[in-house]
Amino acid sequence: MPDPTPTRGPCLPPELAIIIPTFNEAGNVAEIARRIGVSLEGIRWEILFVDDDSPDGTAERVRDLARQDPRIRLLRRVGRRGLSSACIEGMLATTAPYLAVIDADLQHDETLLPRMLERLKSEELDIVVGSRYVSGGSVGDWNQRRQAMSRLASRMAQRLIHADLADPMSGFFLLRAPILADCVGDLSGVGYKILLDIFASSPRPLKFLEMPYGFRQRERGESKLDNAVLWEYLLMLLQKLIGPRIPVRFIAFSLIGGSGVLVHLAVLWLLNRLLGTSFLIGQSVAALVAMTTNFFLNNVLTYRDMRLRGRQLIWGWFSFVLACSIGAIANVGIATYLFEGDSGWVLSALAGILVGAVWNYAVTAVYTWRGKAG
């Protein structure tokens, strides 16, 4: 007698969830979904598009697809950006025991997915990575600069994760859901290096395999990875070195604060030394200029994913300058107090700076970037 339980179809929960982060991929979503459907014939799958409210109507396109096929789902995030966090949230939004992440733009080879799943199971691996850098893989038509950048980033990454991964930057991989569950609390979620983040955050070394594929050319839409991605990558490395206790935004904020000191000195030198204004005026203008450059740098780097634009910039700048001015008073107050209590000038100054920095960070996180900072 034939087994009465259905082994296929949407009435059974999916075995494999494919997470596809999207930003402005309206022209690609139908094709990637179609190709995945063809490749995964015979496997119970679902596709989760995680869209960061793309202005080109990607979410609408996905919704159209989902209306025709219940295995396709949409997770739409509003007021957020970020490839890593999109992947993490997509992976957390499914109950499938196996999770895959793949780009929407058809640059990854979706025909590899069934073999990735097969080997993950048969060889009892934790994770299988689609790799451009093992024999048989390729990076396609990347220019020299991009290739060099990618190689440098990979080398730095290998040191960090102590795993001999040829392509730690890959955005194409398949893993067991519990592996994610084990490290999800420690993921930095910043930037676009989700695979690296998983390897670096896993409580034990992962059993992995790299399978080669040829990185294809993008046919429609454009790459979203710009120079700021490099900055996010550095932040992520720093975060892994320093540990999860200190928020990565605070690290970024402090680095930018340090750059503000240089701006301050440069402006003061220009006004006071070169143009001969009084020290008081020079110092005041320098402080204002440094706060202003800090504000804009923080806006595009630290709070890149919740950047203030247009008229919001005015309130943002004003609240930032106000908060930092109070921070400066606290800084001087504490330092003077400690100094008078015989703490030594270096220690007193550092304590003042620390208190000022924490104050500035905490207050601007809530008031300037409107409590969006988590």
Site residues, ligand GDD (CB under 6 A): 21-23, 25, 50-52, 81-83, 86, 103-105, 107, 150, 169, 171, 192, 223-225
Q: Which is nearer to ligand GDD, 150 or 292 (CB)?
A: 150
Applying CB under 5 A, among 25, 52, 89, 105 the residue interacting with Mn ion is: 105
Q: Across-strand partners of 300?
A: none
Could you tell which of Mn ion, ligand GDD, none binds residue 312, using a CB distance below 5 to 8 A set by kind? none
Q: Which is nearer to ligand GDD, 163 or 366 (CB)?
A: 163
Q: How far is the CB of 196 from Mn ion (least distance, A)?
A: 17
Could you tell which of ligand GDD, Mn ion, none binds residue 210, using a CB distance below 5 to 8 A set by kind? none
Tokens of 260: 């503000």
Could you tell which of ligand GDD, Mn ion, none binds residue 104, using a CB distance below 5 to 8 A set by kind? ligand GDD
Ramachandran bin of 93, using left for φ above 0, alpha for ψ from -120 to 50, beta for the remaining angles: alpha
- For CA atoms 117, 121, 123, 124, give the dihedral sign: positive
Residue whose token pair is 């594929």: 213
Q: Which is nearer to ligand GDD, 15 or 56 (CB)?
A: 56
Q: Does 107 bind Mn ion (CB under 5 A)?
A: yes
Q: For ligand GDD, which residue has the nearest CB? A: 171
Q: Which is nearer to ligand GDD, 23 or 359 (CB)?
A: 23
Could you tell which of Mn ion, ligand GDD, none binds residue 284, using a CB distance below 5 to 8 A set by kind? none
Could you tell which of Mn ion, ligand GDD, none binds residue 169, using a CB distance below 5 to 8 A set by kind? ligand GDD
Phi, then psi, of 68 in degrees rounded to 5: -95, -20
How far is the C-alpha of 82 from the C-alpha of 187, rounded, in Å?
13
How far is the C-alpha of 146 from the C-alpha of 212, rounded, in Å?
19
Could you tell which of Mn ion, ligand GDD, none binds residue 62, using a CB distance below 5 to 8 A set by kind? none
Tokens of 318: 């004003």
Q: Which is nearer to ligand GDD, 98 or 192 (CB)?
A: 192
How far is the C-alpha of 236 from the C-alpha of 26, rounded, in Å?
29
Among the candidate windows 3-11, 106-114, 266-274, 306-314, which touches Mn ion by CB under 5 A?
Answer: 106-114
Q: How far is the CB of 278 from ligand GDD (least distance, A)?
A: 48
Q: How far is the CB of 223 from ligand GDD (least distance, A)?
A: 3
Could you tell which of ligand GDD, Mn ion, none binds residue 150, using a CB distance below 5 to 8 A set by kind? ligand GDD
Among the candidate windows 7-15, 20-28, 102-110, 240-248, which touches Mn ion by CB under 5 A?
Answer: 102-110
Q: Which is nearer to Mn ion, 105 or 232 (CB)?
A: 105
Q: Which is nearer to ligand GDD, 104 or 334 (CB)?
A: 104
Q: How far is the CB of 174 from ligand GDD (least distance, A)?
A: 14
Site string for Mn ion, 154-193 (x = CB under 5 A): ----------------------------------------
Tokens of 167: 């392509």
Could you tell which of ligand GDD, Mn ion, none binds residue 46, using a CB distance below 5 to 8 A set by kind? none
Among the candidate windows 104-112, 129-137, 274-282, 292-300, which touches Mn ion by CB under 5 A?
Answer: 104-112
CB-CB contact of 298 with 364 (8 Å): yes
Could you tell which of Mn ion, ligand GDD, none binds residue 225, using a CB distance below 5 to 8 A set by kind? ligand GDD
